[in-house]
Amino acid sequence: MEWAARAAVRRAPQPIDLMRDRRASMREDPAWMLQIAGMTNMSTVDWPGRLTATLFLQGCPWECTYCHNPAMQDSRVPGIVGWDDVTALLDRRIGRLDGVVFSGGEPTRQRGLADAMRQVSEKGFGIGLHTAGAFPGRLAMVLPLVDWVGIDIKATEAFYPQITGKGMSGRRAWESLRLVQEAGVAHEVRVTVDPTTHTRDEVLATVEQLRERGEEPILQEARAEGANPAYAAALADRRITAVLDEADFADLCVRR
């Protein structure tokens, strides 16, 4: 019994240290220090209804099964797009683009994000953010600068490690969703359905929990393009229809 009690204490979940995230965010870097892995000069798909440039920031602490940008996970990899290149593009596109989306990777990992957002906003562009919610405290610091958020909720909290490979990831993601909701910023919630991991019950439970929080999530297909070869082979030709029943789709929003 004594051993079991000690084990239970060791397994007890620890609270998310939002203040640690926020303290890290306060140590801002200038925008030119961003590690930018890539840039799309014009996109119609990264912010619904908006024409944007999209920046892909290097580094993500999670190793999601279906990640289609695995080369962006390693935070030690230097960027290949300079901030001067970004600002030069935006200066040419004033009046032609609606906004800039900061994507990744996990963009909130980088301390130069806030300065970059402010500079982009000063040029008259809207600010979009793609996040998986890995750093809720840092997210909270940049939310006042953001006009729209696309947030990924991957599963119920307990199921998260099966997708991300990280123990606290579910608590962080759901806390990040709460922060987005409380900030009142426009947003959409996406759930990528992975036929190699998700079950029907898990997907429907995730949707139900999101609806309880006032969200109507958009379900997305996992895809082999860009994923690591082992995942692509495991996914093969399986689609969302391999996880959900045909009758389920009448009550779900699916982006194919």
Task: Judge whether residue 97 has pLDDT over 60.
Answer: yes
CA angle in degrees (0–180, nearest 5) for 170-173-174: 85
At residue 256, the pLDDT reads 78
Considering only residues 147 and 9, tell me which one the structure prediction assigns the higher pLDDT: 147
Task: Judge whether residue 224 has pLDDT over 90.
Answer: yes
Q: Own/partner pairs for 239-242, CB < 8 Å, 24+ apart?
A: 239/195, 240/193, 240/195, 242/195
Helix spans in 146-244 (H): 160-164, 169-183, 200-212, 229-235
- The helices-and-strands tally (H runs, E runs) of the chain is 9, 8
**What percentage of the chain has pLDDT greater than the value 70?**
90
- In angstroms, the Cα distances linking 99 to 24, 54, 89, 123, 125 are 27, 9, 12, 10, 4
At residue 19, the pLDDT reads 55
Report the alpha-carbon distance of residue 117 to residue 100 in Å, rounded: 9
Mean pLDDT of 233-239: 96
What distance, in Å, lies between the first and last C-alpha atoms of the chain?
52
* Among the listed residues 185, 34, 179, the one whose alpha carbon sits nearest the alpha carbon of residue 103: 34
Report the alpha-carbon distance of residue 248 to residue 215 in Å, rounded: 17
Mean pLDDT, rounded, of the chain? 92
pLDDT tens digit sequence for 45-82? 999 999 999 999 999 999 999 999 999 999 999 999 99
pLDDT tens digit sequence for 5-17? 333 333 444 455 5
- Two structure tokens written together for 137: 């405290």
Domains (ranges, CATH) in the chain? 16-189 (3.20.20.70)
Mean pLDDT of 135-151: 98
Buried b (16+ CB within 10 A) or exposed e, 237-251: eeebeebbeeebeee
**What percentage of the chain has pLDDT greater than the value 90?**
89
Report the alpha-carbon distance of residue 92 to residue 147 in Å, rounded: 22
Q: What is the DSSP letter of 224?
A: S
pLDDT tens digit sequence for 168-221? 999 999 999 999 999 999 999 999 999 999 999 999 999 999 999 999 999 999
* 83 and 39 Cβ atoms separated by less than 8 Å: no
Amino acid type, 222: A
At residue 3, the pLDDT reads 36
DSSP per-residue codes, 42-68: EESSSSTT--EEEEEE---S---TT-S
Mean pLDDT of 165-170: 96
